[in-house]
Homo-oligomer: A and B are copies of this chain.
Amino acid sequence: MSRDTDKPRLFVECGLEAGARVAIDRAQAHYLGHVMRRGIGDPLLVFNGRDGEWRARMDELGKGGGALIVAEATRPQASDSDIWVLFAPVKRSPIDRIAREATELGASRLAPVLTQHTVARRINTHRLRANAREAAEQCGRLSVPDVTNPVSLAAALETWPAERRLLVADETGAGEAVADVLIALGRERPVPPSAILTGPEGGFAPGELDALDDLPFATRVRLGPRILRAETAILSALACWQALVGDWRDGGAAPGGP
């Protein structure tokens, strides 16, 4: 699939075909013009849930709305996985969730690492620790994860303990299916200590992925066909790890020690 993340993607209601002119509303015009800073002639992608994904160009853009001209199809419509989510509503959740939820999901260490494309370089580790502690208090844990100070990815890898497996959430889609990797990992005895690594919003730099490929302890894993935000990727990979390797298993041999 196209992971052309530099093009804005819009959901529209109307039918899509080559040459169609599609009106966009005020909110979409604001998003394209002010948030994404696009203008007349700029390319984008549109879909409607029925006709697949299409390339389009901005044809008109004003304060109250605008219009696109649809060009050619990029992907046919595919049938979705049929999985529902029924949930009892909860109140708006606070931020600083990675620390909180990785704590709930049993991470033993939270380590901010700075990659080439990382934009958020000022990390409030004090607040991360406060969140991890509060989550540990509420989730029933008997410990608080270790929150380390930010280091560069290169520095983290230079001092890497050789026996610790590193699962790299590879947003290019080139890695192995995460379930296959984790089922194999969960069968090893003793279960090796592990780590999950996710990239920033902009993804890993190609040189970073190449460097990871050269490391015997690192494995690229794929988290499905959709582009996950970093926090979704972290927590998904961690949940899968716990389910297949960690302490969510029946009689699971969770690796011990810090």
Chain A residues in the interface with B (C-beta under 8 A): 1-3, 8-11, 47, 49, 52-53, 75, 77-98, 100-102, 104-115, 117-121, 123, 133, 136-145, 150, 156, 164, 166, 176-180, 182, 193-201, 222-232, 234-250, 252, 254-258
Contact = CB atoms under 8 A, between A and B. Distances in A.
Copies in the complex: 2
Nearest to A254: B81
Contacts of A224: 105-106, 242-243, 246-248
Given A11-B137, A82-B193, A195-B85, A90 B231 contact: yes
B85 A92 contact: no
A120 B87 CA distance: 11
B239 A240 contact: yes
B89 A112 contact: yes
A67 B225 CA distance: 52
A226 B8 CA distance: 39
Contacts of A200: 88-90
A236 to B, nearest CB: 4
A110 to B, nearest CB: 5
A9 B144 CA distance: 13
Contacts of A75: 142
A191 to B, nearest CB: 8
Contacts of A226: 104-106, 139-141
Contact of A11 (B53, B96, B136, B257): B136
Given A87-B112, A91-B120, A180-B249, 4 more contacts: A11-B137, A85-B98, A91-B119, A92-B95
**3 tightest A-B CB contacts, nearest first:** A236-B239, A79-B256, A88-B200
Contacts of A105: 224, 226, 228, 232, 236
Given A120-B89, A144-B49, A248-B222, A195 B227 contact: no
Given A87-B111, A232-B235, A178 B142 contact: no
A194 B81 CA distance: 9
